[in-house]
Structure 1
Amino acid sequence: MSALSDQLVTFAILAYLVAMISHAVEYALGDARRRTAAAAPARELVGAGVGATGEVEPPAADDAPPVRDRVAERGRLAGRIAVAVTALAAALHLGALVTRGVAADRMPWGNMYEFVLTVTWIGVAAWLAVLVKRPGLRQLGLFLTLVQVLLLAFAELKLYTEVVPLVPALNSYWFIIHVSTIVFSSGIFLLGVVPAVAFLMRNGYEQGRRSFPYTLAKRLPAAAALERLTFGLHAFSFPIFTFAVIAGAIWAEAAWGRAWGWDPKETWAFISWVVYAGYLHARATPSVRRNVATWIAVLGFLTVLMNLFGVNFFFTGLHSYAGI
């Protein structure tokens, strides 16, 4: 089961890569369609008339659809393929998690490698759920699949750990309660940073900035839609993250005799909580511009990454279960 899990992770990374390429093709064909439409001369309207022979000539008929329509259809096909392959990758990803859990005879959250696998799966599953309800946001898939490929490849190459039993300190029912909510909220934050960055790019493009990276945003949905999605995802995830931090404090009291000890993980979890609370407060304050609030959301995800990777690599504490 452990070997099967490893193989499924590899196949999932390859599938996410194919989905990313398909999204990039849709993006490129969308640009090609616009360039074709701009470069094509205006079609001359010719009505029926009398020819040189005195016979009435019928109007000319188009034998083939316009080039831009064919290009657009190919772009839409590439987008649909990208979504289908993303769903396949998510299924492979889930299979890797399930087989990893079966091999370990526990929930697959015992080390940093397994945590990254789970967080990234939550992010892509939430993305597919969003896409069912709002298919017009499909262009965001390019950025999400890029994030998936990078994180999973990093986990596979740098964080991989052999299947081992759960360390004694984690043998508690609080393991399920605390870690499941941390994993879930982190996965939603992972998804939330994608429209946040996309909004910042698209908003700059709509304001007339045509330099890199703003020109990458010309195929993205409207800035207002991206900003609403960013807020909705963070407003949904923040209470779950708050409960996870509280549950962790209760577990720490039971396991170590204190609810809070300024352990590096605890400290960075608190920093993340403060930053995300600041984002929601800024978003609800009319005097704060939306792009400023969104930058706070991006900063919040950077603190999550610091808690996930930086703390495990550079600090030692009671939460040192990374397995690296």
Structure 2
Amino acid sequence: MPIDQTLAEYSDWAYAAAALVYFLALIAYAVEGAFGRSRKAARELVAAGPVPIGVIEEPARRSLPERFGRSAVALTVLGAVLHLAALVLRGVATGRAPWGNMYEYGMATMFVAVVGWLVLLRKFDIRRLGAFVMTPVVILLFLGFTVLYAEAAPVQPALKSYWLVIHVIAAASSSGLLLIPGVVSLLYLVRVRHEGGAPSRVGARLAPADTLDRVAYQTTVFAFPIYTFGIIAGAIWAESAWGRAWGWDPKEVVAFVAWVVYAGYLHSRATAGWRGTRAAVVNVVGFVMILFNTFFINFVVTGLHSYA
């Protein structure tokens, strides 16, 4: 199928626009995080007791930082719409699943991360973490458009399989979702350090430690089965394409090591009662393995997956 270069160009424009909107959202999140008062603090202020007339109504009005926070969420939604448009246009332009190279894979992964973040916003009072979550998204999208960019083209013959849809979307979805608990676990360590006698301005403005712990754990619980399915689907595809399900290729090995780390994290939480700092460290190690496998293995180490 010939490549529709016009649609491919529109996809690039939508990608760049999404990255710009995410950057603006990052700034708005940062303003609320730096200058805003948490919703809990605002409620406590209202319930604190008698105050002069005119002051008691102040918390009911949205403060300027809170308006920045709400605008940040709106910008994130707009960015996600543009992001989805970039993916769809790329797929239509090439006539295939839009994750056939590292540029497209990164685009899909970051889209899942943003959607996951928006879903978590509806469940947890964590909007003030937005700047920390959006920072890696913006950085990775920027690197994708500058360092990893690839012209719209057919995939290599080795990737012409329906498993490209099944295996890669599972890998991209789980990796995007696991970005969130990776970042949140890092923030948990900062918060615990703040509460443990090493106060910091950043730690003081983060969500409570138990909230951060629950966000990291519940997101990992959801993402881990998808990651597991991605590994299994990859083994089935390898059996079909290369005549073996497992060949100790560097990407296979690191993916399995990351799986073991996350499995250990979930198992220790369920059986040994690991919570807090130890669990957060394990979760961060798992996410570092995901990043290592996505970038270092693909570009530095030679293996059967190097074509991506």
TM-score normalised by L of structure 1? 0.84
Question: Given that residues 100 and 164 in structure 2 are in contact (C-alpha distance below 8 angstroms), is that contact kept between their aligned partners in structure 1?
Answer: no
Name the structure 2 match of 1:108.
Answer: 98
Separation in 2, partners of 1:315, 1:156: 22
Whether 1:190 and 2:182 are equivalent positions in the alignment is no
Of 149, 160, 164, the match for 2:149? 160
Instruction: Give matches, 1:164-183, under 5 Å.
Output: 164-183=153-172
Instruction: Give matches, 1:103-252, under 5 Å.
Output: 103-134=93-124, 136-211=125-200, 215-252=201-238
How far the C-alpha of 1:154 sits from its partner, in A, is: 0.9
Separation in 2, partners of 1:25, 1:68: 20
Whether 1:14 and 2:4 are equivalent positions in the alignment is no
Counterparts in 2 of 1:132 and 1:117: CA distance versus 1, 3 Å: same
Name the structure 1 match of 2:71.
Answer: 81
How far the C-alpha of 1:105 sits from its partner, in A, is: 0.8
How far the C-alpha of 1:173 sits from its partner, in A, is: 1.7
How far the C-alpha of 1:283 sits from its partner, in A, is: 2.1
Separation in 2, partners of 1:31, 1:173: 50
Whether 1:307 and 2:293 are equivalent positions in the alignment is yes
Q: In the alignment, residue 302 of structure 1 is paired with which amino acid?
A: V
Separation in 2, partners of 1:65, 1:236: 44
Name the structure 1 match of 2:41.
Answer: none
Separation in 1, partners of 2:106, 2:275: 33
The alignment yields a C-alpha RMSD, in angstroms, of 2.4
How far the C-alpha of 1:70 sits from its partner, in A, is: 9.5
Aligned partner of residue 284 in structure 1, secondary structure: helix
Separation in 1, partners of 2:82, 2:275: 41
Identity of aligned residues (%): 46
How far the C-alpha of 1:72 sits from its partner, in A, is: 6.4
Whose Rg is larger? 1
How far the C-alpha of 1:194 sits from its partner, in A, is: 2.3
Separation in 1, partners of 2:157, 2:100: 11
How far the C-alpha of 1:23 sits from its partner, in A, is: 1.0
Q: In the alignment, residue 217 of structure 1 is paired with which amino acid?
A: G
Separation in 1, partners of 2:25, 2:195: 27
Whether 1:321 and 2:292 are equivalent positions in the alignment is no
1:34-64 Cα shifts (integer Å, max 9, x gaps): xxxxxxxxxx99xxxxxxxxxxxxxxx75x6
1:183-205 Cα shifts (integer Å, max 9, x gaps): 11111111221221121111221
Separation in 2, partners of 1:72, 1:128: 21
Q: Which runs of 5+ in 1 are unaligned?
A: 33-43, 46-60
Separation in 2, partners of 1:221, 1:321: 42
Counterparts in 2 of 1:219 and 1:268: CA distance versus 1, 3 Å: same
Separation in 2, partners of 1:113, 1:257: 28
TM-score normalised by L of structure 2? 0.89
Question: Given that residues 33 and 129 in structure 2 are in contact (C-alpha distance below 8 angstroms), is that contact kept between their aligned partners in structure 1?
Answer: no
How far the C-alpha of 1:78 sits from its partner, in A, is: 0.9
How far the C-alpha of 1:294 sits from its partner, in A, is: 1.0
How far the C-alpha of 1:217 sits from its partner, in A, is: 2.3
Q: Which runs of 5+ in 2 are unaligned?
A: 1-6, 39-49
Separation in 2, partners of 1:165, 1:251: 19
Name the structure 2 match of 1:292.
Answer: 278
Separation in 1, partners of 2:17, 2:60: 32
Q: In the alignment, residue 97 of structure 2 is paired with which amino acid?
A: M
Separation in 1, partners of 2:71, 2:143: 25
Question: Given that residues 140 and 194 in structure 1 are in contact (C-alpha distance below 8 angstroms), is that contact kept between their aligned partners in structure 2?
Answer: no
Equivalenced residue count is: 293
Name the structure 2 match of 1:53.
Answer: none
Q: In the alignment, residue 31 of structure 2 is paired with which amino acid?
A: V
Q: State the 4+ residue runs in structure 1 displaced beyond 6 angstroms.
A: none
